[in-house]
Amino acid sequence: MHFIPTKQNDDARKRLRLVFFLNFGFTIIEAVGGVMTNSMAILSDALHDMGDSLTLGVAWYLHHKSGRGGDNKFSFGYQRFSLLGALFSGMVLIIGSLFIFANNIPRLFNPEPASGEGMVLLAVLGIAVNGFAAFFLSKGKSLNEKMVSWHLIEDVLGWVAVLIVGGLFLFTDWYILDPLLSMLITSYVLFNVLRHTRKTVRIFMQGVPETVHIPSLEHKLMTVDNVKSVHDLQVWSLDGIDHVMSVHVVVSPSLSVRQIFTIKQSVRGMLRKIPISHTTIEIEFEDEDCHNELSGIDAHAHHNHSH
């Protein structure tokens, strides 16, 4: 089986490339601005954005690599390399969130003053740049793009907090609001990142896609004419978008080649609604001894259950 690069994959690569250069360029501006305003919050965010730039660069490279078709090393193709980008992004975000928590807790007890004017100006620019990048990536469907988009959403929300706090600092000295808002936003982002990371790990562990219900799928397959039973039904996902399925279909040995061909066509037609990108259908005759070394006892039990 050979997956070839798709327009969807190519578009995703272009989106990640543009967002990478936007984020990296803004990180430099942010670091300079943090020094000029003497704002530790902005300098900390600059450090965080530098981590984002690293993550975006890795995500861009891995998504580019994921567009390669199958070869002798990776027969399914390189689509799962996109998942590495999503997992890497998730780990960086989780570690970064814990780092933010650790640095904000002391500031709750010892708030530090900062330049409100400079914070407001940088916040407006930060919202514009990161907001555009987040909107641009929202068109993507891959987990890699979704995970990266949470980096950008975190940045947008962070700059909204900086804008609000910077505005308040123009009239008050409530400097404790800075760490409080930062921790609230980080908690929200961390929750969503953990949710997406869980999905990524599930795909790596070859879990059944959330859109697929095995018992219902078995029931549908049993409605195909001349199908006696089904077993060893396996469904997993390559990258959260393209799914793969294999199944053993038991039929009567008296069926003609034309009837068997019709069964396969009916099964494939039924799977277009899921959707399944690649299907392997093994036809077995009744009373045929099915040897499945990979599934072992579980496969045998499933076979008896299906009958």
pLDDT in the model for residue 303: 43
- Counting as low any pLDDT under 50, the low residues of the chain are 1-6, 293-307
Of the options 2.70.170.10, 2.60.40.10, 2.40.50.100, 1.20.1510.10, the CATH number for the domain spanning 7-204: 1.20.1510.10
Residue 210 DSSP code: T
- What is the tens place of the pLDDT at every residue in 228-255? 989 889 898 877 777 888 999 999 988 8
Q: Count Cβ atoms below 10 Å from residue 231 Cβ, excluding itself.
A: 23
pLDDT in the model for residue 95: 85
Q: Are 251 and 283 in contact (CB under 8 A)?
A: yes
Report the largest interatomic distance among the alpha carbons of the chain, rounded to a whole angstrom. Answer: 88
Contacts of 252 (CB under 8 A, 6+ apart): 226, 228, 285, 286
Q: How far apart are CA 161 and CA 186, in angstroms?
A: 11
Tokens representing residue 115 in the block: 């330049």
Of the options 1.20.1080.10, 3.30.70.1350, 1.10.1740.10, 3.30.70.100, the CATH number for the domain spanning 214-306: 3.30.70.1350
pLDDT in the model for residue 5: 45
Long-range Cβ contacts of 7-12 (<8 Å, 24+ apart): 8/141, 8/241, 9/63, 9/66, 9/67, 10/67, 11/139, 11/140, 12/63, 12/82, 12/140, 12/142, 12/144, 12/145
CA atoms 141, 142, 147, 152: torsion sign: negative
Q: How far apart are CA 97 and CA 101, in angstroms?
A: 6
- What is the tens place of the pLDDT at every residue in 197-225? 888 888 888 888 888 888 988 998 998 99
Q: 3-state SS of the chain: helix, strand, coil percent to 5? A: 65, 10, 25
Strand residue runs (E) in 131-242: 227-237
Q: Count Cβ atoms below 10 Å from residue 200 Cβ, excluding itself.
A: 24
pLDDT in the model for residue 248: 92
Q: How far apart are CA 61 and CA 57, in angstroms?
A: 6
Would you kindly state where each structural domain of the chain is located, as residue ranges?
Answer: 7-204, 214-306
Q: How far apart are CA 135 and CA 149, in angstroms?
A: 8
Q: Partners of 284 in the beta sheet?
A: 250
pLDDT in the model for residue 261: 92
**Model-level pTM?**
0.65
Classify residue 4 as exposed, middle or buried by CB count within 10 Å of its CB (0-12, 13-18, 19+): exposed
